């Protein structure tokens, strides 16, 4: 599933427009990326944890 497919699923299940659902998906991923870039760990129950680590 990619971002567009996720947005389509969100739109169909909530009654939102595809454009609004895509904005919501983009905002969620931007928030995760911003938090990780600041060194914060993002934990989404039932999905996973995201953090930036040095390799």
Please report whether residue 33 resides in a domain.
yes
Q: Which residues contact 25 (CB under 8 A, 6 or more apart)?
A: 3, 6, 7, 10
Specify the number of domains making up the chain: 1
User: Domain of 41?
Assistant: 3-50
* CATH number reported for the structural domain that contains residue 28 in this entry: 4.10.520.10
| CA 26/CA 46 separation, integer angstroms | 20
pLDDT digits (tens, 9 = 90+) for 8-30: 999 999 999 999 999 999 999 99
Structure confidence at residue 50 (pLDDT): 84
Structure confidence at residue 31 (pLDDT): 95
pTM of the complete model: 0.82
| CA 12/CA 32 separation, integer angstroms | 24
Q: Which helix (H) or strand (E) holds 6?
A: helix 3-14
pLDDT digits (tens, 9 = 90+) for 39-55: 999 999 999 998 888 77
| CA 43/CA 46 separation, integer angstroms | 9
Please report whether residue 55 resides in a domain.
no
């Amino acid at each position: 599933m990619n971002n567009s497919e996720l947005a389509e699923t969100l739109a169909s299940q909530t009654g939102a427009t595809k454009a609004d659902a895509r904005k919501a998906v983009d905002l969620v991923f931007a928030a995760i990326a911003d938090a990780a870039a600041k060194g914060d760990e993002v934990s989404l129950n039932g999905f996973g944890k995201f953090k930036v680590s040095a390799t």
